[in-house]
Amino acid sequence: MAFCRVIHIGYQNNPYHNHIHAADVMQTVHTIVQHAKLSSYFTDIELLALFIAAAVHDYDHPGVSNQFLISTRDPLAIRYNDLSVLENYHISQVHEIFEQYPECDWTNSFCLPDKNYLKELMIQLVLSTDMKQHFSILGVFKTRFLNDEPPAGSYSDEDKRVLLKTILHASDISNPVKKQSLYLEWTRRVMTEFSKQGQCEKERELPYSPFCEPEPDIPKCQRGFIDFVVRPQYD
């Protein structure tokens, strides 16, 4: 519970990237795993890594994009060499919590191999939520899993990693597949966050990032997101 409280408090009060989004993604992961009857394909450690990664995947998100941090030479971009800046930051902060607050480190009772495997999986899963990884992860997933479904227990470790990444990423972009009222509310929230980034870009005399300009074409934004990102993921 101490860990959950710290994670909850650590999410900033952004319109979109906040603790509600984290809970929504975690719940969607659960729905996919249960609806598709996938739990038998994974070990308990792998499922734990998946659910915790969902809960922390946007921890302490500043409400701006990786590209904004890179363009402004933010210290986080410098620290992580412009590579999956926010995703590296989110998961590193979680491991810092374990180090700084022993009462939050629920992995202390694990044997060392399980603890190391859990950490490795969580890092890979959170890094896979970088949208720059979308097409590569989707391509690998479709290459490996378009054939007939193998029986539970027959997936290789690498197959399972691909499947875990796909479940988390699909959950992270799942707003358009939910009921319309939820989808429209999340759209309003993400466009509000885009607008706030656009204001920051204007103040710094930077070019607007896509759909961060004043009065963006929201239907065009969502059509592109659905047609090129969400639909191929869920087909």
**Residues that are catalytic:** 17
Q: Are 164 and 46 in contact (CB under 8 A)?
A: yes
Q: Are 42 and 160 in contact (CB under 8 A)?
A: yes
CA distances from 15 to 105, 200, 207, 213 (A): 29, 15, 22, 17
DSSP state letter for 102: G
CA distance 60 to 96: 13
Q: Are 229 and 175 in contact (CB under 8 A)?
A: no
CA distance 175 to 230: 9
Q: Phi-psi bin for 109: left (phi > 0), alpha (psi -120 to 50), beta?
A: alpha
Task: From 75, 49, 81, select the one nearest 62 (Cα to Cα).
Answer: 75
Task: From 184, 206, 187, select the one nearest 197 (Cα to Cα).
Answer: 206
- Of how many residues is the chain composed? 235
